C-alpha cells in the first residue's frame, strides 16, 4: 500500500474514533484531502538543505552582514501535530562566498515542513547555513504562535514564542549581535 493510501485509511479510522461518520457527504473525501495536504505540509523530509544552498554559492568580497527578515513559515508541532507559524529572521556574514537570497527561505521551508519544535527549527537553520556556506557567523531568530497553546491546554490567544540561535561572530561579538537585533526589530523600515 502506498503512503497516501495508508494515510487515507488511518484518517478514516481517526474520524470514526472521534465520533464522526467518514461516509457522510462533507467527510467522504476528507481522508484523501488530508493525505494530499500532508504531502505538502511534511514535504521537507525528502529535501536536503545542502542541495538547496549548494547550487547558489557565489564568490564575493563582501564582508558585511546580509539579513533576510520576515520570512513567513508554517510548521507542525511534534508534540500535538498542531500548527505553529510565524516569522524567521536570518543573517550571515560572508566569508568569501554569498548565497542566492531565495535559497535562505527555501532552507527555512525544508526544516519547517517536518514535525518540529521551534527550538530545534531555529538550530537546524543556523547549522545548515554554517555548514553549507561557511560564513563568519550566522544569526537566526524565530517568533511564532503555537496552536497547541491557543486551541488547547492553557488557551492563551496571541502568546508568541521567540527563539534564537547564534553562531560565530553573532555569538562572540556583542556589536554584531546588536546590529542584527536592531535590524530585525526595526518596524516599517524598507517595507514594500
Examine the residue annotation and report whether 148 is marked as an active-site residue of this protein. Answer: yes
| Active-site choice (8, 116, 118, 124) | 118
Q: Which of 123, 148, 150, 179 is catalytic?
A: 148
Tell me, yes or no, if 118 is annotated catalytic: yes
77 is catalytic: yes
Catalytically annotated residue among 89, 116, 124, 146: 146
Q: Strand 97-99 relative to strand 57-59: parallel, antiparallel, unpaired?
A: antiparallel
The closest alpha carbon to 66, from 139, 163, 142, belongs to: 139
In the residue annotation, 9 being an active-site residue is answered as no
Would you call 79 a catalytic residue per the annotation? yes
Do the beta carbons of residue 130 and residue 168 sit within 8 Å? yes
Residue spans of beta strands (DSSP E) within the chain: 57-59, 66-77, 83-93, 97-99, 115-116, 137-146, 161-168
| Active-site residue, selected from the candidate residues 80, 123, 150, 179 | 80
Burial (CB < 10 A; 0-12, 13-18, 19+), residue 144, is buried
Catalytic residue among 13, 72, 78, 119: 78
From the list 13, 51, 79, 131, the catalytic residue is 79
Please give the positions annotated as active site.
77-80, 118, 146, 148
Amino acid at each position: 500500500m502506498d503512503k497516501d493510501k495508508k494515510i487515507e485509511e488511518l484518517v478514516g479510522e481517526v474520524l470514526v474514533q472521534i465520533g464522526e461518520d467518514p461516509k457522510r457527504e462533507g467527510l467522504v473525501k476528507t481522508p484523501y484531502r488530508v493525505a494530499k495536504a500532508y504531502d505538502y505540509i511534511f514535504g521537507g523530509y525528502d529535501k536536503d538543505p545542502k542541495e538547496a544552498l549548494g547550487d547558489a554559492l557565489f564568490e564575493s568580497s563582501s564582508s558585511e552582514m546580509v539579513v533576510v527578515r520576515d520570512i513567513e513559515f508554517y510548521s507542525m508541532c511534534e508534540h500535538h501535530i498542531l500548527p505553529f507559524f510565524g516569522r524567521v529572521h536570518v543573517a550571515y556574514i560572508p566569508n568569501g562566498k554569498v548565497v542566492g537570497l531565495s535559497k535562505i527561505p527555501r532552507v527555512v521551508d525544508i526544516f519547517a515542513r517536518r514535525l518540529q519544535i521551534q527550538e530545534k527549527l531555529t538550530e537546524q537553520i543556523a547549522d545548515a547555513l554554517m555548514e553549507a556556506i561557511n560564513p563568519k557567523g550566522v544569526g537566526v531568530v524565530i517568533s511564532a504562535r503555537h496552536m497547541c497553546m491557543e486551541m488547547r491546554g492553557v488557551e492563551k490567544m496571541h502568546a508568541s514564542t521567540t527563539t534564537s540561535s547564534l553562531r560565530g561572530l553573532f555569538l562572540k561579538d556583542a556589536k554584531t549581535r546588536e546590529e542584527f537585533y536592531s535590524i530585525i526589530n526595526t518596524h516599517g523600515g524598507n517595507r514594500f
